[in-house]
């Protein structure tokens, strides 16, 4: 936390991936003023979500989103697609009931996610760890979603993603680390951490032709607009 704050990363959203770790995220948010929490059940988690307990937990003042939720059709041995789709509906119902945005994980399920979001007009949120090209970016932007970019954009092979970073409307752009995953190119092989967001921010600012502080201003404003309880 000290490293993050001294690097200029002053607001963090800790994601929940199951009930226990969602409780952990909420506890962390109560402990550190820079941290806010999201609660949810990740598509690759085994076991069924305790939807009622997650909904109750989502009432906490420090909970700013339902996440990390979504669909992952690429992970070998992950839960069946039908089960994942069922869970997604349950997580969307919590978000709707609590009037919270969602943070969505997607691997190989963009068409199904577009269908699910379109079927829930009240759902708003962010596509976390965005890794697709501009056509899909536009589709999610048209649905009102934000795009969140991580260390992936710093990999030289990701030219298509860099184009999305350049084209993304200024009022829909977010940044994340996805710690402990999602390392920037220069930190391959080490566990990612919030302070390293700066690596991504430097490249995104360069691609958009603005300074890092300017990027910080607009990204912070976007985060507060989406995660309304985040201050
Ligand atoms: Zn994810």
pLDDT in tens, 19-69: 999 999 999 999 999 999 999 999 999 889 999 999 999 999 999 999 999
**Residue 231 pLDDT exceeds 90:** no
Ligand 1 centroid to Cα of residue 128, in Å, is: 6
- What mean pLDDT is predicted for residues 140-159? 97
Give the 3-state secondary structure of residue 121.
Answer: coil
Residue 149 falls inside a structural domain: yes
Residue 231 falls inside a structural domain: no
Ligand 1 centroid to Cα of residue 118, in Å, is: 21
Confidence of residue 153 (pLDDT cuts 50, 70, 90): very high
Ligand 1 centroid to Cα of residue 42, in Å, is: 8
Task: Kindly state the helix (H) or strand (E) to which residue 13 belongs, with its residue range.
Answer: strand 12-14
Ligand 1 centroid to Cα of residue 213, in Å, is: 27
Backbone CA torsion sign across 99, 173, 84, 181 = negative
> How do residues 3-17 score in pLDDT, each as one tens digit?
999 999 999 999 999
Residue 133 falls inside a structural domain: yes
Residue 157 falls inside a structural domain: yes
Ligand 1 centroid to Cα of residue 106, in Å, is: 7
Domain around 54: 2-226
Residue 49 falls inside a structural domain: yes
CATH number of the domain encompassing residue 93: 3.20.20.140
* Pairing, β 146-149 against β 125-127: parallel
Task: Say how many domains are in the chain.
Answer: 1
Ligand 1 centroid to Cα of residue 133, in Å, is: 17
Cα atoms in the 13 Å half-sphere on the side-chain side of 114: 12
């Amino acid at each position: 936390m000290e490293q993050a704050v001294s690097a200029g990363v002053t607001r963090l959203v800790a994601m929940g991936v199951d009930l226990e770790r969602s409780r952990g995220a909420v506890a962390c948010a109560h402990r550190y003023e820079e941290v806010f929490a999201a609660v949810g059940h990740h598509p690759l988690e085994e076991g069924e979500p305790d939807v009622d307990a997650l909904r109750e937990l989502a009432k906490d003042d420090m909970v700013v989103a339902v996440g990390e939720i979504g669909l992952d059709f690429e992970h070998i041995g992950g839960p069946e697609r039908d089960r994942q789709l069922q869970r997604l509906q349950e997580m969307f119902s919590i978000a709707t009931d609590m009037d919270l945005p969602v943070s969505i994980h997607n691997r190989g399920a963009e068409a199904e996610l577009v269908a699910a979001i379109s079927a829930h007009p009240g759902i708003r949120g962010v596509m976390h760890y965005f890794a697709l090209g501009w056509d899909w970016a536009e589709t999610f932007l048209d649905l009102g979603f934000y795009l969140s970019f991580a260390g992936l954009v710093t990999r030289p092979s990701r030219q298509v993603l860099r184009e999305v970073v350049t084209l993304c409307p200024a009022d829909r752009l977010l940044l994340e680390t996805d710690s402990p995953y999602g390392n920037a190119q220069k930190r391959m092989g080490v566990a990612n951490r919030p302070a390293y967001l700066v690596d991504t921010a430097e490249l995104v600012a360069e691609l958009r032709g603005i300074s890092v502080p300017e990027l910080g201003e607009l990204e912070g404003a976007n985060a507060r607009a989406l995660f309304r309880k985040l201050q």
